[in-house]
Amino acid sequence: MTLVLAFALLGCGDQTKNDTDKTNSPNIIDVNNAGSNLIDPAAISRLGEACGPSSEKFCASGLSCQFEGMQQDAGLCLPVVVNPDLECDETQNAVCGLIGNNKNGYLNECYAQRYGAQVLNEGFCKNDETVKGSCDSPAYSLGNCQQSFTGASFNQASGECEAVTLVGCSADMPFESLEACQSSCS
Check residue 2 and report its DSSP letter.
H
Pair 71, 26 in one domain = yes
Q: Do 27 and 84 lie in a common domain?
A: yes
Q: 147 with 116, same domain?
A: no
Bigger pLDDT: 14 vs 85: 85
Given 77, 98, 122, the domain boundary residue is: 122
Q: Based on the domain organization, do 88 and 24 belong to the same domain? A: yes
Residue 113 and residue 140 share a domain:
no
Same domain, 114 and 145: no
Who wins on pLDDT, 43 or 134?
Answer: 134
Q: How many domains does the chain have?
A: 2
| 75 CB-near residues (< 8 Å, 6+ apart) | 24, 26, 50, 51, 52, 65, 66, 67, 68
Q: Mean pLDDT over all residues of the chain?
A: 74
Boundary of a domain, candidates 104, 122, 140: 122
CB atoms within 10 A of CB 14: 9
- DSSP letter at 61 equals T
User: pLDDT at residue 61 above 90?
Assistant: no
Residues 140 and 103 reside in one and the same domain: no
Residues 6+ apart with CB under 8 A from 158: none
pLDDT recorded at residue 80: 74
Shared-domain flag, residues 146 and 78 = no
Residue 64 has pLDDT above 60, yes or no: yes
On whether both 145 and 81 belong to a single domain, the answer is no
Domain span at 49:
2-122
Non-local CB neighbours of 94 within 8 Å, separated by 6+ positions:
7, 105, 106, 107, 108, 122, 123, 124
Identify the domain boundary among 85, 102, 122.
122
Tell whether 40 and 84 lie within a shared domain: yes
pLDDT at residue 74 in the model: 74
Same domain, 80 and 143: no
- How far apart (Å, rounded) are the C-alpha atoms in residues 63 and 181? 35
- Do 135 and 93 belong to one domain? no
CATH number of 165's domain: 4.10.410.10
What digits encode the pLDDT tens for the residues 1-50?
333 333 344 433 333 333 333 333 333 333 333 343 444 444 545 566 77
